[in-house]
Amino acid sequence: MSIKSEVGVASKYITIWLFATMLALAGTTSHATDAALPGDSIYQLDVLLTDQDGREQHLPALRGQVRIVSMFYASCPYVCPLTISTLQRIEKGLTPPQRANLSVVLFTLDPERDTSEVLKTLAREHNLDETRWRLEHTDSLAVRKLAGVLGIQYRQLENRDFNHSSVLILLDADGRVLARSTQMGDPDPEFITAVLKALT
């Protein structure tokens, strides 16, 4: 065998090796961007949700879109309607394309009473755009865990009312908290700025 052909064989192997390495590297890179969820993402929590249409999905399935989330309960007489109207005011300030990229998810604190039917009625009463608004219920332990990752405090009272911190939480597509606002009624301008920034 000539030296030239030996070099040729070697270079062929090197080429194959390089190609394989590149494939492997490409594989790990795409794996990293597709699958690795940030440690501070609320989607690390795997709880089963059921929405106002009775559709079940796990919390991590909400990954992939900018969302404003909050916790509430349907029979709440004062604060929860205020939360919804504040969210609607924030949405009014957005252009239609911006609005189309924003989703709102409200988790109920009262899973025993707030069935899918109750949540559906609430969505209709408030004329919510149900293509983008999801009202979710889950079990009571999952509620406590959700409140834990969202930093929401609540306490159930004897008369089945809940005292809870009312807060709007802006999440990026990976479920990381970008901003929080406890200002109800007139939306907090800083929160609106954060929403606009997240949507561009």
Partner 1 sequence: MMRLPEMCPDTVCAMPGKPPTYRTATVLIMWRTGMRARVLLAMFLGAIHVSGALAASEARNALPLYIHLPGGKFRSVLPPDGKSSLAMVSPYELRALPVTNGEFFKFVETHPQWRRDQVASVFADTAYLAHWSSTLQVDDALALQPVTNVSWFAAEAYCESEGARLPTWHEWEMAAAADETRRDARSDPAWRERILGWYAQPGGHDLAAVGLTPKNAWGVYDMHGLVWEWVEDFSGMMISADSREQGDPDILKFCGSGALSTKDNENYAILMRIAMMSSLTAPQSTRNLGFRCARDDKGHSQ
Chosen residue from 147, 178, 196, 199 binding partner 1 by CB under 8 A: 147
Cα separation of 40 and 169, whole Å? 14
Q: How far apart are the first and last CA of the chain?
A: 63
Residue 46 touching partner 1 (CB under 8 A): no
Stretch that binds partner 1, among 1-9, 78-86, 110-118, 129-137 (CB under 8 A): 78-86
Minimum separation from the CB atom of position 175 to partner 1 (A): 9
**Interaction of residue 173 with partner 1, rule CB under 8 A:** no
Interaction between residue 159 and partner 1 (CB under 8 A): yes
- Say if residues 122 and 104 touch (Cβ distance below 8 Å): no
Only one of the segments 12-20, 23-31, 56-64, 165-173 lies at the binding site for partner 1 (rule: CB under 8 A); that segment is 165-173
Long-range contacts of 137-141 (CB under 8 A, 24+ apart): 137/49, 137/50, 137/107, 137/108, 137/111, 138/47, 138/48, 138/49, 138/50, 138/107, 138/111, 139/47, 139/48, 139/111, 140/111, 140/112
Estimate to the nearest angstrom the gap between the alpha carbon of 103 and the chain centroid: 8
- C-beta closer to partner 1: residue 79 or 196: 79
Query: Under 8 Å CB-to-CB from 102, ≥6 apart: which residues?
Result: 65, 66, 67, 68, 91, 94, 132, 195, 199
User: Which is nearer to partner 1, 128 or 149 (by Cβ)?
Assistant: 149
Binding residue (CB under 8 A) for partner 1 from 74, 119, 184, 198: 184
Q: Is 35 in the site for partner 1 (CB under 8 A)?
A: no
Residue 69's identity, in one-letter code, is V
Please work out the total of residues on this chain that contact partner 1, with binding judged by CB under 8 A. Answer: 33
CB of 140 to partner 1, least distance (A): 10
Provide the binding-site residues for partner 1, judged by CB under 8 A. 37, 39-42, 44-45, 77-79, 82, 141, 144-145, 147-149, 151-159, 163-167, 182, 184
